[in-house]
Amino acid sequence: MKKTLLTIALAFTGFCANSQVIFSVEEPASIAGGYELTYAAITDWGVPDLLITANAVLDTVVLANDLTPTADSLMCDVAAVGSLNGKIAMLYRGSCEFGVKALNAQNAGAIAVIVVNNISGPPIAMGGGAQGLNVTIPVVMVSDVTGALIRAKIDNGENVIAFIGNKENYYVNDIGTASKYIRVAEEQAIPSVLAVNSTEFPVNLGLYVFNYGSAFQTGVTVTADITYNGTSIYNQTSNSFDFVSGTATQDSVWVDFPAFSSSAFSAGNYAITYTLTPTVTDDYPSDNVITTRFVLTNDMISLARLDANGKPTIDQGSKPSTQTGSFTTCIHFKNANASRVGAQGVYFGVLKNAADGDVIGEEILVQGYQWNDQFIDLNDAAFGFTALDEKGSGSYTFAADLQDTILYQAFDTPFMLEDGARYLFCATTSSTTIFMAYDTQTKYAQNSALDAQPVGPIADAGTFSIGFSGDPVPAIGVKTYLAAEAGILETNTVEANVYPNPAKDQVIVAIKGYTGDATMTVTDLAGKTVMNTTVTTDANGKVKVNTAELNNGMYIINLQMTDGTVSKVNVVINK
């Protein structure tokens, strides 16, 4: 199912230091506590700003039903006027826009809306759509699991009381933190060849801890724990600290930890967990533990977290709210040992509104730039985008409607990276209806607050800026190769052709000037290998390939010849 599509304003600096919007079940006690949420943003909804404590809602949750013959809880049709008066309406994602659902609930008297995700996984960002600006009550989303817990209690005849809003001063004893207040690894994925000793990939640790409650807190500690493939390899507990200066509701403390580095980093999955420990029982413990992850890979660079398939994670599609032309989204990369690898291509993803049709025939341009502007950080007067030297590019044209999927496009000419140089890796669409894929859960806000380095620059009609408000991270990955492979990738490519194209059950690949054996790997556009075999060309450099088992779509045929040369061709299967 498609992710949410959002037009986003450009980034601004600063944050509201003691703001934490929550969704908390207050009654019944059996399911009481805080639950993960997303909430409608004031940028494309008419909703109240939930960062303002006065806009919080505390009331009974009821299941909303529209006036369709089956009276379902999708709320895509109007509901009986007054049927939700003074209640928090719970309804389900699906079939129509979020704004339509919320407006129907509002018109039936609801004072807030809970949207339950209809697929497994965390709640997602919600775009307001055509009716969002007409919605003037709070709108939040919770996961399918959370929705099922609440639904079971309602169906059992129990009253469910929920709180939605900024929890500042709502509880008596309440410390906490959030993802935007913690330091994370500089990349969520980096090739292990760039992290081979204790100095090459230090992970700087730290976070802000807030006293959201009305009572002073003393003796608080924080533990930072790092695991590798599930085994703890770093564990540090801070000195105790107090919230005693100023007023309790404004207190915050920055907690530093020694940087983590390893003399023997290994490829695999790492998790950083921060655990807050108060000396009194916390009235809202749901934000006392927070985890972030990073992966040492064979060949992937990504600022977005990776999914189960090792590809950048897509949470939503985004584009500028004031887009005037082409839209470019990029990630920034700089590494002191970058010359150990080269850049081979870019992973990316796109989405569209259903009303705007499919993406067949749309083109995405991927580019790798060496960013030669000489600046120290974002505060440097010399910061800018005036010296971008394109090193590699490639063009991807959609032969199928592959939305909400991470795809890959190689550069026409791969290139080696240089130690200490800055790079931008970008994907560009000339369409004003395409949204580029983003990860909204990874936050570099505290990294940027301390070192002021760019993360995800964008460009509208070729004019660059530092990125989006809210700091979503582009779901972009860079496929790398080892320096030892540079000769093969950069100079040993030979021309090949494929016909017929489109094809049905068989194609012929013709390799110019080569006869003999070759290893053939066929992948789909999502990077999945669908065929891997050894083939032998005839005297004219031709080889027949049986494609009868392949489904309709575009495939990439990669050939590795025994003399070290390589070829790549694309073929469309259309039976």
pLDDT in tens, 361-420: 999 999 999 999 999 999 999 999 999 999 998 889 898 999 999 999 999 889 999 999
> Could you tell me if 556 and 486 are in contact, meaning their C-beta atoms sit under 8 angstroms apart?
no
Model confidence pLDDT, tens digit, residues 408-465: 999 988 999 999 999 999 999 999 999 999 998 899 999 998 899 999 999 998 899 9
Amino acid at 284: Y
**How far is the C-alpha of 112 from the C-alpha of 182, rounded, in Å?**
30
SS3 state of residue 194: helix
Q: Find the radius of gyration of the CA atoms of the chain.
A: 26
Instruction: Give the residue among 171, 160, 155, 149 at the shortest CA–CA distance from 28.
Output: 160
Residue 574 is predicted with a pLDDT of 86
The position carrying tokens 């906490």 is 176
Cβ-contact 102, 76 below 8 angstroms: no
Torsion sign across C-alpha atoms 162, 164, 170, 171: positive
Domain boundaries, the chain: 21-166, 175-296, 300-484, 492-573
- Residues across the chain: 575
Q: Is the dihedral angle over the CA atoms 451, 454, 456, 458 positive or is it negative?
A: positive
- The pLDDT value recorded for residue 245 is 54
Fold of 300-484: Jelly Rolls (2.60.120)
Residue-wise pLDDT for 67-115, tens only, equals: 888 778 999 998 888 899 999 999 999 889 999 999 999 999 999 999 9
Please give the DSSP secondary-structure letter assigned to residue 153.
H
Q: Which CATH architecture has domain 175-296?
A: Sandwich (2.60)
pTM for the predicted model, two decimal places: 0.77
Residue 549 phi, psi (nearest 5) = -90, -5
Average pLDDT of the segment spanning 319-337: 92
Just give the CATH number of 21-166. 3.50.30.30
**Straight-line distance from the first to the last Cα atom of the chain, in angstroms, rounded to the nearest whole number:** 26
Q: Which residues are paired to 444 by β-bridges?
A: none
CATH topology of domain 492-573: Immunoglobulin-like (2.60.40)
Tokens of 11: 């980034």
- Give the pair of three-digit tokens for residue 239: 């000195």
| CA distance linking residue 66 with residue 274, whole number of Å | 43
Do the domains 492-573 and 175-296 match in fold? yes
What is the distance between the alpha carbons of residues 349 and 435, in angstroms, rounded to a whole number? 9
**Residue showing tokens 């006036």:** 67
- DSSP β-bridge partners for residue 435: 351
